[in-house]
Amino acid sequence: MGWARSPTGTAETEHHETDALEPRTATQPASALTGAGELLRALAAPVRIAIVLQLRDADRCVHELVAALDVAQPLISQHLRVLKAAGVVRGERRGREVVYRLVDDHLAHIVVDAVAHVKEEASR
């Protein structure tokens, strides 16, 4: 759910397709909120955001991420471990390489929306 400022300066919610899935007043279980917080923390590093954006386009192995992001291999591997532990990515061995992919598209939408939001704010 996004927030926008009305001309009077009060916050108003924007409506999205997913709003119809749950009532706005529904209380979420603490475990769901804790899990969401952990997921967002896992996505909180710029390199991890870049990895998610790369994997949104195609499955990739470590050396492809190193080349695309111009980041050292040990650092890419460290960030992939964090993303894997958080359930964001999954690795599949193919011969000598491990190919990484996003667990689902919801995670890519979170990252894409966050980047778009920052770009919109910067252009104002």
Which pLDDT does position 43 carry in this prediction?
Answer: 93
DSSP 58: S
Q: Tens-digit pLDDT profile for the chain (124 aa)? A: 444 444 444 444 444 555 555 556 578 889 999 988 999 999 999 999 999 999 999 999 999 999 999 999 999 999 999 999 999 999 999 999 999 999 998 889 999 999 999 999 888 8
Give the tokens for residue 38.
């952990």
Walk me through the domains of the chain, giving residue ranges and CATH numbers: 3-122 (1.10.10.10)
Give the tokens for residue 91.
């690795």
Which pLDDT does position 25 carry in this prediction?
Answer: 58
Q: What is the DSSP string of 79-96?
A: HHHHHHHTTSEEEEEETT
**Number of C-beta neighbours around residue 60 at 10 A:** 21
Residue 88 burial (10 A CB sphere; 0-12, 13-18, 19+): buried
